[in-house]
Amino acid sequence: MSDKSLPFKVTPEMEEYIRARSTDLRVATTCEGPLLFSVRISPPKPTDRIITVGGRKIYVSAVQAPHIKAIDASMLPRCALEKKRK
């Protein structure tokens, strides 16, 4: 896994979301595009890129890394968005 500095921006809303999680997270490739999951659901792969946000590691799929400009709310799975609205 690479810990190289990558040009990802993290929106303030997502920084808050990431800091509130109890686990590290991973941006994974899905049929809906890149989504952010707990590493319990989508374990990191050796080829992932790593960034750190608020003490949490964010693993970014090597497939998605070249295409991502920002980690934002569009990467939250629907179930996470539904919980935030309640």
Domain ranges for the chain: 9-81
Q: What is the longest distance spanned by two Cα atoms in the chain?
A: 37
pLDDT in tens, 5-46: 456 899 999 999 999 999 999 999 888 889 999 999 999 999
- Count of beta carbons in the 10 Å neighbourhood of residue 25: 25
9-81: in CATH 2.60.300.12: yes
Handedness of CA 14, 20, 24, 26 (dihedral sign): negative
pTM greater than 0.85 (yes/no): no
